[in-house]
Amino acid sequence: MRHSILALVLLLGLIAACTTASGPEPVHSFDPTPWLDKGSRVQAASFAVLSTKLKGVMGKQGVSEAIQYCSLTAHPLTDSLSAMYDCTIRRATLQTRNPINQANDYESAILEDWASDLKDGKEITAVVQEITPDTVMYYAPIRIQPLCLNCHGQVGQEITPENFALLQTLYPDDRATGYALGDLRGMWSIRFLNKMD
């Protein structure tokens, strides 16, 4: 009996060793590092453009003009940045103001991971995924800063009743209010063609 158990253990060990040795070689290995660099450059440039324009209009013309400016130009701006950087840039969220920015399944999974990491007191950082042989996605968190509260904070406190009324007119299904400083607002979702130049 003892011998047969020993033999079985040896046999299993041999099978395991053989399977490992002759297992399929990885066909293709994906290195996320250069994509993290590239994505973070595109994301930083896009954030700089959007927030500089927004601050300019807010400073000169006030919050309500800036709301209308945002609603007219957020998409044209990300479209022209996409053309400039040869990729597709969008912002996605689980709590939309403009329903076109609703997160898809891939984006939702990452947003949910980040939300639970934040709850556990962990830091959140950008993620890269090769979703098809041709496509690499770069995702980076968007957090609430002081400036954002004017239009995404508490209604009646940071958001004035007049500005809330304007938001309701432009976005009847607005779900993007009630945020606090540091909250996860959404993500940059940047699609690259899977070739490094």
Contact with ligand HEC (CB under 6 A) among 88, 98, 160, 194: 98
140 or 148: CB nearest ligand HEC:
148
Interaction of residue 67 with ligand HEC, rule CB under 6 A = yes
Q: Least Å distance between CB 187 and ligand HEC?
A: 8
Which residues, including other chains, have CB under 8 Å from residue 117's CB and lie 6 or more apart? 123, 124
Least distance to ligand HEC, CB of residue 86, Å: 22
Comparison of 54 and 136: residue with beta carbon closer to ligand HEC:
54
Contact indicator for 111, 187 with CB cutoff of 8 Å:
yes
110 binds ligand HEC (CB under 6 A): no
Among 168, 163, 105, CA closest to 131: 105
Measured distance CA(120)–CA(174) in Å, rounded: 28
Ranges within 162-181 binding ligand HEC (CB under 6 A): 176
Q: Is residue 154 part of the contact set for ligand HEC (CB under 6 A)?
A: no
Distance CA 162, CA 99 (A): 22
Angle, alpha carbons 179-181-183 (nearest 5°): 60
CB 87 within 8 A of CB 192: yes
Please check whether residue 81 is in contact with residue 39, taking contact to mean a CB–CB distance below 8 angstroms. no
Residues 113-152 that bind ligand HEC (CB under 6 A): 142, 144-145, 147-148, 150-152
- For residue 81, state whether it binds ligand HEC (rule: CB under 6 A): no
Residues that bind ligand HEC (CB under 6 A): 51, 54, 58, 63, 66-67, 70-71, 74-75, 91, 93, 96-98, 101, 142, 144-145, 147-148, 150-152, 176, 185-186
